[in-house]
Structure 1
């Protein structure tokens, strides 16, 4: 099988650790550049995936994602950042990012996200990772069979689509992490999904949730303390 070709763009100290993890996972790192060289690297190497870690607070980062996609339309961009605020996720997805990873994501979760973005076999998503559906067209595909989620399952799924970790979901909905995991297992079973990424994409295709970046901000709902977990 041809390895996924990836360019890493961002602070060199962070990229060194990512390089080792990705190479051990069978990913071909074709270039490692500073964030300011990301667009040129995408145009030069035409990688399957570009892992972009913007400088904290960089207001031009979403535009960089957009420019990367224009320079190499086949390249999927995964953004790595120290937080996964719904507003930031929506902005990057609207710019064309295929996924959003928390900076503290595990090596396994990073590999899974890269393989999913690069067309490899999907796996079980990690707690800190949430790759997003690549485009709004998927929302227009009708479901093949009706799927009914409980209100709490729907809330948990919306939070997962907004790139929130299990801990963040638990804090937002005022439930335990164990309860979050239980509801995610229920969502996976009902949708026939094998990962958070797969569950979000299947839910979008079934019109159960909006594509991230469309509709209500982040698709998030306020916690309802009167609702049983």
Structure 2
């Protein structure tokens, strides 16, 4: 955890939390953004768990969380779900090295306010954060390509695959997603076909390869 606080006379100044498991990315983003007068403070977290602990402990809360999609232990979508449930006033921008249209759609469905690439330049990133902090949303009009199989997955199929990686049964999946087991079976059949796998185990293995399911430490 690395909090930095800056003096600012900007009434619209923003308290930002950057969450990424790679130190180079965290420190690079922090260095890139910390001189901009938009930010009242910048705090960093190396994991989803640390980010959630920070939000729970801070009475003011960050206004905006810049949240990496792919992290071990808890992926960004899992953290997003918890933030939406426990700290709905916090606005979240998902951060990804490479995204698919399904991931962007899933981020919207789970309540994210934006989705940006790690290759975004400073000026554009600041503009997105400002827009989200003021109550707006900002999503790329077209997600970068990340393989035909992954791009073929719908947002709901991607959601099923992520939960599948947690070892959930069809009945568990149906209860969480609010659909019947028959519908879950239909989703799984579609996922298996699009990923070119034969069963749940192969689908989960493929999900690990694609970075859709976090590796447990």
TM category, shorter: 0.5 to 0.7
Kindly indicate whether residue 53 of structure 2 is the aligned counterpart of residue 40 of structure 1.
Answer: yes
Q: State the SS of the aligned residue for 1:161.
A: coil
Distance 1:12 1:57 in 2: 14
Q: Shift of residue 161 of structure 1?
A: 3.3
The residue number in structure 1 matching 2:197 is none
User: Unpaired runs of 5+ in structure 2?
Assistant: 1-9, 146-217
Distance 1:86 1:59 in 2: 21
The CA deviation string for residues 89-142 of structure 1, in whole angstroms up to 9 with x for no partner, is 11122111110001111011111111111118x9xxxxxxx814xxxxxxxxxx
- Given that 1:35 and 1:54 are in contact with CA atoms closer than 8 Å, whether structure 2 keeps it comes out as no
Q: State the SS of the aligned residue for 2:34.
A: helix
User: Unpaired runs of 5+ in structure 1?
Assistant: 123-129, 133-159, 166-229
Q: State the SS of the aligned residue for 2:88.
A: coil
Kindly indicate whether residue 65 of structure 2 is the aligned counterpart of residue 50 of structure 1.
Answer: yes
Distance 1:96 1:110 in 2: 19
- Given that 2:67 and 2:76 are in contact with CA atoms closer than 8 Å, whether structure 1 keeps it comes out as no
Distance 2:43 2:29 in 1: 12
Distance 1:38 1:92 in 2: 18
Larger Rg: 2
The residue number in structure 2 matching 1:28 is 40
The residue number in structure 2 matching 1:131 is 138
The structure 1 residue matched to 2:130, chosen from 99, 102, 115, is: 115
Kindly indicate whether residue 91 of structure 2 is the aligned counterpart of residue 76 of structure 1.
Answer: yes
RMSD: 2.6
The residue number in structure 2 matching 1:9 is 19
- Given that 1:51 and 1:79 are in contact with CA atoms closer than 8 Å, whether structure 2 keeps it comes out as yes
Distance 1:87 1:22 in 2: 29
Distance 2:69 2:144 in 1: 19
Which stretches of structure 1, 4 residues or more, deviate above 3 A after TM superposition?
56-60, 160-165
The number of aligned residues is 130
- Given that 2:47 and 2:71 are in contact with CA atoms closer than 8 Å, whether structure 1 keeps it comes out as no
Distance 2:62 2:120 in 1: 22
Distance 1:89 1:69 in 2: 16
**Structure 2-normalised TM-score?**
0.53
